[in-house]
Amino acid sequence: MPCHNGQVTVNGRLVLAGAPIGQAGDVSPRLREVLGSADVVAAEDTRRLRRLAADLGVEIMGRVVSYYDQNEAVRAQELVETLKQGRTVVVITDAGMPGVSDPGYRLTRLAVEEGITVTALPGPSAVTTALAVSGLASDRFCFEGFPPRKPGDRVRRLAALAGEERTMVFFEAPHRLATSLEAMAQAFGPDRRAAVCRELTKTYEEVRRGGLGELAGWAAAGVKGEITVVVAGHVAGEGEQDLDKLVAEVDRRVAEGEQRKLAIADVAKGAGIPKRELYDLVHRRSTTP
């Protein structure tokens, strides 16, 4: 028990509670128990918490407070003080695990700094669920969260991931999905395998698998629901092979009478790569003995 100013304090317990991502029946008996017994339940959306509790037949006896992105910094300080009084605080977000693209990190960090016990009630996760059903390699993967919203930032982030060998998992808003898939097709190549997982575990669950270019075309018509995107990692030599195909296509067009400059520009545009990159490669190949 920590001692401050000569007074012994009894620290409480912070519980990070995984919430179902679609089906209320996916919750564990432990979640039912802790929601009914906690001193404080901090919820990303208190209305959704009340609906979940009603679906589970649980009566929340403790105090319910809001805990979302806009008030997280201030609320985290308040909740730490509650924990230092020996109380049990449960954090639950709209779906999945608190702290994984959801509020929870700041409070967890503060609790750890104060020596407060932090534990978790594991539950369904859109990250691992999408990875499992994607059909892509799952032995090594990384979670990249939401791609940046600004085009320039998004291009730079994806360019930095072009050589990532692990399977990548992203979240994305439905109205930005087509734009992000197009950017991924340009950064990783239109044939890079991927899966778009929509409304996982829900009534209208859908998993679309294919190349990034194909998926971008599909998403252009509009997509609704919660979205998780899984993208295959880079395979050594894959980029070189793709570029060889592009050079061969330029050579074919030139042989048929098309101007090299126009052929390069058109092939580069179709592949989603800078024409200068393809021009330099074609030039090097043509001057190599």
Q: What is the pLDDT of residues 174-215, one digit of tens each?
A: 999 999 999 999 999 898 999 999 999 999 999 999 999 999
What 3-state class would DSSP assign to 119?
strand
110 and 189 both lie in a single domain: no
Which pLDDT score, from 0 to 100, does residue 240 have? 56
Same domain for 120 and 173, yes or no, is no
Domain's final residue, options 231, 247, 278: 231
**222 and 192 together in one domain:** yes
The answer on 148 and 78 residing in a single domain is no
Over 80: is that where the pLDDT of 273 sits? no
Give the H or E element holding residue 33: helix 29-37
pLDDT at 48 over 90: yes
How does DSSP classify residue 22?
Answer: S
pLDDT at 131 exceeding the cut of 70: yes
How many CA atoms, within 13 angstroms, populate the side-chain half-sphere of residue 50? 7
Q: Give me the residues paired with residue 238 across strands.
A: none
Annotate 205-233 with DSSP letters as a single string: -EEEEEEHHHHHHHHTT---S-EEEEEPP
Nearest to 114 by CA among 258, 1, 275: 1
pLDDT at 272 over 90: no
User: Number of folded domains in the chain?
Assistant: 3
Q: Would the pLDDT of 66 be above 70? A: yes
Reduced to 3 states (helix: H, G, I; strand: E, B; else coil), residue 163 is coil
247-268 per-position pLDDT tens digit: 888 889 888 999 988 988 888 8
Residues 254 and 216 in one domain: no
Q: Which amino acid is at 75?
A: R
Q: What's the pTM? A: 0.77
- CATH number of residue 97's parent domain: 3.40.1010.10
Q: Which residues pair with 117 in a beta bridge?
A: 13
Do 152 and 41 fall into the same domain?
Answer: no
Helices (H) and strands (E) in the chain, counts: 11, 12
- Are 136 and 167 members of one domain? yes
pLDDT exceeds cutoff 80 at 288: no
Domain shared by 98 and 84, yes or no: yes
CATH of the domain at 215: 3.30.950.10
Are 186 and 256 part of one and the same domain? no
Question: Are 12 and 66 part of one and the same domain?
Answer: yes
**Residue range(s) defining the domain that contains residue 98:** 3-124
Q: What is the mean pLDDT of the chain?
A: 90
Mean pLDDT is lowest, of 2-6, 76-80, 142-146, for 2-6
pLDDT of residue 108: 96
Q: What is the pLDDT of residues 78-105, one digit of tens each?
A: 999 999 999 999 999 999 999 988 899 9
Picking from 98, 124, 150, the residue at the C-terminal end of a domain is: 124
Residues 95 and 152 in one domain: no
Domain final position from 78, 109, 124: 124
Same domain, 7 and 112: yes
CB atoms under 10 Å from CB of 64, counted, come to: 17
